[in-house]
Structure 1
Amino acid sequence: MPYFKKIEKKGTPQITYLHVYECDKFSIGIFCLPPSGVIPLHNHPGMTVFSKLLFGSMHIKSYDWVTDAPQNTQENLKDSQMLAVQPPGTRLAKVNTDSVFTAPCNTSILYPAAGGNMHCFTAITSCAVLDVLGPPYSDNEGRHCMYYRDVRCASFSVPLPLSPPANERENYAWLEEREKPENFVVVGALYRGPQVIEE
């Protein structure tokens, strides 16, 4: 299929989106990624997301916001490695997933505040992902898609939850909001599969 052909040019190849169905409660669509195609790091505010890799291999990296109250604050502050300056305009997040997945594999489920709510897909081979979002994105209802840049740090300006040992600090990053990347191009295509029928 033409959606999965990689055209040699600078930057990442365009992604094709097949719109299957949408209502007020949920939306269904299929993302088609050629090799090296990237869906950049983005969030799903107030949404539950089911992502099913239909075929191919892709690298998935996801984060959840760190919301736990710091523990043993005074003890943590003694650790000089945790006194680095927090990058401005960033928020602390913890890595949830950082792995390559190959179909067939389990469905990924993201919740409004857990499961890897911010994620990034990078195609290793041609691949397709079925996405079900509930409820769908809606600017009017405050569900706006935000993009992020991850700034990995081995030291932090604030005590981390439960004072993780130094060998776990690489599992954290500062996420900085950014505009939609210019090289992220999604084009729509006609979905020709089975239709969703409303009753």
Structure 2
Amino acid sequence: MGIETTLADRKAKEFCELPKVTNSNSNTRKSRRRQKKMSLVQKLFETCKEVFSFEDGVDSVPSNENIQRLRSVLDDMKPVDVGLTPDMPYFRTTAARRTPAITYLHLYECEKFSMGIFCLPPSGVIPLHNHPGMTVFSKILFGKMHIKSYDWAVDVPCNASTHVNSTQISSSDVRLAKVKADSDFTASCKTSILYPADGGNMHCFTAVTACAVLDVLGPPYSDSDGRHCTYYLDYPFSKFSVDGVTVPEEERETYAWLKEREKPEDLAVVGAVYRGPKIVER
């Protein structure tokens, strides 16, 4: 669920190998003591370093084994593990804005991955946007949010001019997408994962209650590498009159038309200092 680079400062990369454990009993006991002292957010950081350690490539995705490793760590995380409580000011709605401001807590970022937390007051919205070439893990730490997500439709032809509300729109302006999710999710749910080409690569988050979501992006957004954040408007399939597109009537509600848009003017994301357990680079 990451947003473009303007929402968080870019950090320099710094990778290092995990300490190796020898077979000696003394070192084993020391290692166990270190593991007991390691915070969950530190464990998340260490796991991310391993999972995203492969060489860069187009739409590179970690192995399924590594994806499950990282998901398991995120599934165990709770608000206290990152120093959050629901009564913090980040989660309060103020009357000053029609659309509540969202707070972003920056944990870490390098060339390989980024970690951050979005804090949404009730009715806070992160508009529909994409994640080009990324694998994204999103863990709801507390609260309830509505998630609507899409993947591009690859099995339906669309090569003709399109009409909506009697105004012609070039076929290059819109693209057909398939609904991946359109439901409420609570903090009891498993970590969601999206991939470069599936899993709901384009999504919109709406806070039903105050909520916090921990995001891991691999790799992060990077304008210089062509990973731009693009925002979209979505239109129901039935709103368009399209030549050359065939979708069974009973399936039409599972498709929508997406059109690129400028960054919404009412989107306000403010940065705040992360005050949870420290992440130590070693």
TM-score normalised by the chain length of structure 2: 0.63
Unaligned 5+ segments in structure 2 are 1-87
State the AA in 1 paired with 2:209: T
1:57 aligns with 2:149: no
Deviations 1:140-182 (A, max 9, x none): 000010000001122652555xx54202101111100001101
CA contact under 8 A between 2:119 and 2:213: conserved in structure 1?
yes
What is the CA–CA distance in structure 2 between the aligned matches of 1:57 and 1:8, rounded to whole Å? 21
What is the CA–CA distance in structure 2 between the aligned matches of 1:136 and 1:158, rounded to whole Å? 38
1:117 aligns with 2:201: yes
1:85 aligns with 2:85: no
State the AA in 2 paired with 1:193: G
Deviations 1:114-148 (A, max 9, x none): 00000000000000000000000000000010000
What is the CA–CA distance in structure 2 between the aligned matches of 1:84 and 1:185, rounded to whole Å? 33
State the AA in 2 paired with 1:185: A
Of 90, 105, 111, which aligns to 1:3? 90
Higher-Rg member (1/2): 2
Q: 2:256 corresponds to which residue? A: 173
Query: Which secondary structure does the structure 2 equivalent of 1:17 belong to?
Result: strand
What is the CA–CA distance in structure 2 between the aligned matches of 1:191 and 1:91, rounded to whole Å? 38
CA contact under 8 A between 2:156 and 2:247: conserved in structure 1?
no
RMSD, matched Cα: 2.0
Q: How does 1:60-71 map to 2 (within 5 A)?
A: 60-68=147-155, 70=157
- Judging by fraction of residues, say which structure has more helix: 2
1:157 aligns with 2:236: no
Unaligned 5+ segments in structure 1 are 74-82
1:185 aligns with 2:268: yes
TM-score normalised by the chain length of structure 1: 0.88
The structure showing larger relative contact order (alpha-carbon pairs under 8 Å, at least 6 residues apart) is 1
Deviations 1:98-129 (A, max 9, x none): 00011111111010010000000000000000
Aligned residue-pair number: 187
Of 142, 147, 159, which aligns to 2:231? 147
Of 24, 49, 56, which aligns to 2:111? 24
Query: Which secondary structure does the structure 2 equivalent of 1:85 belong to?
Result: strand
- Judging by fraction of residues, say which structure has more strand: 1
